[in-house]
Structure 1
């Protein structure tokens, strides 16, 4: 599997975990706010990583 597919799968897994945390957030909102910020930062980094990969084309690699 290509690197971008692995990143996408990890991103979807983290999205599911964040959904579980959001379900619990109504119960302990003060405790979960820092975790929410951490997950948002992780999502931002994954989006930047996917964009910077340019669709799986690596630097120095020629397209034919």
Structure 2
């Protein structure tokens, strides 16, 4: 992977977090991955609850 491709991914990641909803994140991560927002967190499964709490009750 070259520097230009990494820079492009980082720019897309930043834009995805600034965009409402989670649709842009689909192009950045694999469907079978699990994600953690902190080292000891239980994490989120791809295709499940949104990474910013979408789907959680207030």
Q: Is TM more than 0.5 here? A: no
Structure ID, larger Rg? 1
Instruction: Specify which structure has the bigger relative contact order, considering alpha-carbon pairs within 8 angstroms and separated by 6 or more residues.
Output: 1
Report the TM-score when normalising by structure 2.
Answer: 0.37
Report the TM-score when normalising by structure 1.
Answer: 0.35
Which structure has the highest helix share of the two?
Answer: 1
Which structure has the highest strand share of the two?
Answer: 2
